[in-house]
Chain A
Amino acid sequence: MKAAILVFPGINRDRDMARALKLISGHEPAMVWHAETSLPVGTDLVVVPGGFSYGDYLRCGAIAARAPVMDAVRDYAAKGGLVLGVCNGFQILCESGLLPGVLMRNAGLKFICHDVHLRVERSDTPFTRGYNAGQVIRVPVAHGEGNYEADEETIKRLEGEGRVLYRYCSADGVVDEASNINGAAQSIAGIVNDRGNVLGMMPHPENHVEDIMGCTDGRGLFAGLVQHLEKAA
């Protein structure tokens, strides 16, 4: 795996992501500064990590989405390259137009920082092949704006095309209002674009990959990506 992690001013989960990728793929990812106009040659995964790019000024992810490197990411995604955006990364991907919809202020207005359960909706994608369909995983969230919204037609299309890959749920996998931590439409925690090569998700799988973290449920996402890339190579 030749992963490239984008780095914007104010991003703070970039090193967590680098550590997780190194641990699971065995390869050190490249850190790519936002002012770059190209990605390293041979990049097979672009990661937009979490944090608070540009202090969340204007709207979360709005300024980072217009950074020079994002043009390179758009070209890369248009050619089918894999892109993973986590937390602020998801917000940046929505603001950049690579994913539909928007992440609004949490319905309860509070910053939410604790473990949540996610139901993996399908296992036949590069981003979920490390899990079984219907499997429940536990990963942390840390966000104030994670309330996914889109117009009715977009939501219908996302559901119809099976593009919701991760959904907030209870410990036993029930998707209900009580487990929908931020009020997201359809309890959406993670979606892919129409081509299936760009995933955005609010929770942090990179923070549940080692025993010392108390849980390793996040490993499956990265292990699945490694497997997918090995098979493709």
Chain B
Amino acid sequence: MKARVTVTLKTGILDPQGKAIEGALKSLGVDGVASVRQGKVFDIELAGADKAKAEAALKEAADKLLANTVIENYAIELKA
């Protein structure tokens, strides 16, 4: 089973990297960019086919390591 965990900064947390990317896009002349927030994507392959178990493992992974929940949110997406 495959899964994707997306980690994003919580709203209100200053994101200097996103700001720099936003500035770079503007200087490249990419039109219509209002703002950029950057984050991380983890593509994870899971052993076994139990969906509930996979979700529990991914939640544990995100809480324990992948995200720092002081400043970040995460979303788990299971793929068939």
Report which A residues bind B (CB closer than 8 A). 58-59, 62-63, 66, 95, 100-102, 104-109, 147, 149-151, 183
Q: Cβ of B13 and Cβ of A149 under 8 Å apart?
A: yes
B65 touches A58 (CB 8 A): yes
Q: Which residues of B contact A150 (CB under 8 A)?
A: 70
Among B16, B64, B65, B70, point to the contact of A105 (Cβ < 8 A).
Answer: B16
Please tell me which one of the listed residues B16, B66, B70 contacts residue A102 in the complex, with CB atoms under 8 A apart. Answer: B70
B16 A107 Cβ-Cβ under 8 A: yes
Q: Enumerate chain B interface residues (CB-CB to A < 8 A).
A: 13-14, 16-17, 20, 64-66, 68, 70-71
Compute how far the CA of A66 lies from the CA of B65 in the bound complex, rounded to whole angstroms: 8
Number of A-B contacts (CB under 8 A): 36
A58 cross-chain contacts in B, Cβ below 8 A: 65-66
The answer on a CB contact under 8 Å between A101 and B70 is: yes
> Chain A's nearest CB lies how many Å from the CB of B40?
8
Nearest CB of chain B from residue A102's CB, rounded to whole Å: 5
Distance (whole angstroms) from the CB of B56 to the closest CB of chain A: 19
CB neighbours (8 Å) of B17 from chain A are 105, 109
Given contacts A62-B65, A66-B64, whether A109 and B70 have CB atoms under 8 Å apart is no
What residues on B are CB-neighbors of A147 within 8 Å?
A: 14, 16
Which partner residue on chain B sits nearest A100 by CB separation? B70
The answer to whether A107 and B68 have CB atoms under 8 Å apart is no
Can you identify 29 A-B contacts, CB atoms within 8 angstroms?
A: A58-B65, A58-B66, A59-B68, A62-B65, A62-B68, A66-B64, A66-B65, A95-B68, A100-B70, A101-B70, A102-B68, A102-B70, A102-B71, A104-B13, A104-B71, A105-B16, A107-B14, A107-B16, A109-B16, A109-B17, A109-B20, A147-B14, A147-B16, A149-B13, A149-B14, A149-B71, A150-B70, A151-B70, A183-B14
